[in-house]
């Protein structure tokens, strides 16, 4: 049935019983105390007489009346734990006084409960659920925002992200994100050139959320460690299962099956599984090659567990044996990664890390005769060394130096596409090795330890048996032509 039918049916059904979902759920979600702590920390950073405003990500259309699986704005999730669309959160530096004399310091506007809608798209927390589950005290339905009296003119700073400009306005909902943003613009007198108005600051929003989110708390690390370990188990299972006749998509499916088996909700970014030349496309997403053949397979796949995403890449020979050329390139990338690892501790800058890894790769490519001048190395190593991970795969950050509690990737790579100006024996070799590290005061913890990275370990694992070796499906009958 289509969602469009719902509009018709919903008008016919006067009373549908509230839809109850099963309650066999994980018990390791972030706690209300965690989110409250994050809100307090944001408040401490904010200047006197200011308000911070965060809204949900819009829903996105996938096909006709079907939407993509919804993903919350990580900032809203971080500060509240609320995972539904069409919501708005305001956090005040100083307590505010309502018309009835009571005070509040935060307001959350949520999707209203709606039995018919919930039968189609699942349970909503609603006002009472959000109070109970998230521990917030001042929660209202989105439709109440319109009549909530907030005098925005008295604030010296209104701290907010860049306003979304491409949200659909649903005909069936008078308190969807579009309406909430329109009402916010009217109430706070946000004009089209708000970026030039000093009362509004998107820079402070990015700075504060960066400062907070770049340092992981103990609670966040539990989830991030798990997301990374799950991803590594996915890598290890695919290493065992990979064979030259496997397709890129099958390998992707096995990664994602392992993620799901361990309870991960999503992938943190579209899975990248590229054999041979396809590995040279840095964010290759088609994963369409039917047989990986005797190629190197570059697999950059990260599980998202309760919002936190890993980012792990392994590159393996599908037939279980590195050729001398593949080995030479792999060892160079490995060496560049090891050199960067050694510097991973408090105080190191990304420039220092980048310089050392780029130096190793440039020297190595020169020695192998793939380039004739060091400056040419970037042609084969065309991306940065790494980034923060967390609620976003390319996570928010604010500092230039590494600090204890940051979680970063270190991911050098060498990509030699077909027809490159070097001996053709190197063509189609693409290697990226990407690991996730927790920065400590004097060193780091390798979070992605569970995915083998040494050549000998990889060759050993590919030679192992896999449960998929004996997994067959019936031959499809649908190849018959015509009527």
Closer to ligand GLY by CB, 250 or 434: give it.
Answer: 434
Closer to ligand GLY by CB, 183 or 231: give it.
Answer: 231
Residue from 418, 417, 399, 416 nearest 408 by CA: 399
Per CB under 6 A, 334 contacts ligand GLY: no
Q: Is the Cβ–Cβ distance between 51 and 152 less than 8 Å?
A: yes
Minimum gap (Å) between residue 300 Cβ and ligand GLY: 5
Please tell me the distance from the alpha carbon of residue 60 to that of residue 168, in angstroms, as a whole number: 9
- 478 Cβ neighbours under 8 A, 6+ residues apart: none
Say which entry of ligand GLY, Mn ion, none residue 350 contacts (CB below 5 to 8 A, set by partner kind).
none
Say which entry of Mn ion, ligand GLY, none residue 9 contacts (CB below 5 to 8 A, set by partner kind).
none
Please tell me the distance from the alpha carbon of residue 373 to that of residue 229, in angstroms, as a whole number: 40
Say which entry of Mn ion, ligand GLY, none residue 179 contacts (CB below 5 to 8 A, set by partner kind).
none
- 334 Cβ neighbours under 8 A, 6+ residues apart: 433, 453, 454, 455
Q: Is 252 exposed, middle or buried (0-12, 13-18, 19+ CB in 10 A)?
A: buried
Contacts (CB under 6 A) with ligand GLY, residues 422-481: 434
Residue from 133, 137, 149, 47 nearest 92 by CA: 47
Count residues contacting ligand GLY (CB under 6 A)? 6
Minimum gap (Å) between residue 351 Cβ and Mn ion: 18
Per CB under 6 A, 176 contacts ligand GLY: no
Q: Which of 179, 304, 411, 436 binds ligand GLY (CB under 6 A)?
A: 411
Minimum gap (Å) between residue 312 Cβ and ligand GLY: 9
In the shown chain, the binding pattern of residues 397 to 436 toward Mn ion, with x for contact by CB under 5 A and - for none, equals ------------x------------------------x--
Q: From 12-20, 82-90, 152-160, 295-303, give the range in contact with Mn ion by CB under 5 A.
A: 295-303
Please tell me the distance from the alpha carbon of residue 363 to that of residue 375, in angstroms, as a whole number: 10
The phi and psi torsions of 331 (rounded to 5 degrees) equal -65, -35
In the shown chain, the binding pattern of residues 251 to 270 toward ligand GLY, with x for contact by CB under 6 A and - for none, equals ------------------x-
Please tell me the distance from the alpha carbon of residue 269 to that of residue 435, in angstroms, as a whole number: 16
Cα 360 to its chain centre, rounded Å, is: 30
Residues that bind ligand GLY (CB under 6 A): 269, 300, 311, 393, 411, 434
Residues that bind Mn ion (CB under 5 A): 300, 311, 409, 434
């Amino acid at each position: 049935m289509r969602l469009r039918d719902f509009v018709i049916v919903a008008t016919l059904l006067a009373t549908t019983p509230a839809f109850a979902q099963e309650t066999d759920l994980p018990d390791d979600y972030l706690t209300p105390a965690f989110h409250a702590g994050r809100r307090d920390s944001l408040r401490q950073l904010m200047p006197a007489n200011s308000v911070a405003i965060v809204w949900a990500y819009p829903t996105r259309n996938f096909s006709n009346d079907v939407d993509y699986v919804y993903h919350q704005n990580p900032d809203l999730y971080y500060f509240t734990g609320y995972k539904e669309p069409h919501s708005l959160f305001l956090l005040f530096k100083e307590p505010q006084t309502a018309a009835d004399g009571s005070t509040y310091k935060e307001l959350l506007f949520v999707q209203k409960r709606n039995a018919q809608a919930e039968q189609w798209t699942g349970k909503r927390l609603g006002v009472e659920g959000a109070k109970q589950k998230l521990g917030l005290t001042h929660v209202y339905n989105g439709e109440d925002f319109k009549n909530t009296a907030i005098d925005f003119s008295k604030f010296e700073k209104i701290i907010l992200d860049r306003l979304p400009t491409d949200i659909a306005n649903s005909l069936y909902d008078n308190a969807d994100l579009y309406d909430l943003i329109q009402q916010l613009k009217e109430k706070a007198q946000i004009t089209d050139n708000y970026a030039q108005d000093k009362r509004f600051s998107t820079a402070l929003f990015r700075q504060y959320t960066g400062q907070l989110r770049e340092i992981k708390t103990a609670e966040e690390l539990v989830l991030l460690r798990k997301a990374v370990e799950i991803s590594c188990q996915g890598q290890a299972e695919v290493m065992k299962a990979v064979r030259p006749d496997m397709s890129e998509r099958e390998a992707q499916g096995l990664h994602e099956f392992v993620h799901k088996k361990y309870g991960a909700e999503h992938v943190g970014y579209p899975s990248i599984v590229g054999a041979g030349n396809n590995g040279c496309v840095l964010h290759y997403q088609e994963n369409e090659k039917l047989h990986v053949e005797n190629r190197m397979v570059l697999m950059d796949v990260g599980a998202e567990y309760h919002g936190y995403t890993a980012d792990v890449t392994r590159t393996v020979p599908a037939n279980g044996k590195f050729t001398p050329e593949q080995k030479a390139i792999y060892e160079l990338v490995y060496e560049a990664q090891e050199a960067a690892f050694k510097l991973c501790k408090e105080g190191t800058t990304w420039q220092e890390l980048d310089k050392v890894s780029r130096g190793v790769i440039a020297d190595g490519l020169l020695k192998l005769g793939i380039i004739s001048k060091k400056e040419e190395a970037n042609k084969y190593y065309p991306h940065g060394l790494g980034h923060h991970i967390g609620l976003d795969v390319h996570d928010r950050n604010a500092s230039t130096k590494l600090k204890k509690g940051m979680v970063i990737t270190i991911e050098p790579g060498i990509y030699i596409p077909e027809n490159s100006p070097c001996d053709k024996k190197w063509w189609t070799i693409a290697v990226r090795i990407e690991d996730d590290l927790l920065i400590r005061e004097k060193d780091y913890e390798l979070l992605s330890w569970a995915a083998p990275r040494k050549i000998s370990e990889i060759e050993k694992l590919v030679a192992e048996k896999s449960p998929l070796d004996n997994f067959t499906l019936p031959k499809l009958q649908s190849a018959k032509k015509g009527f």
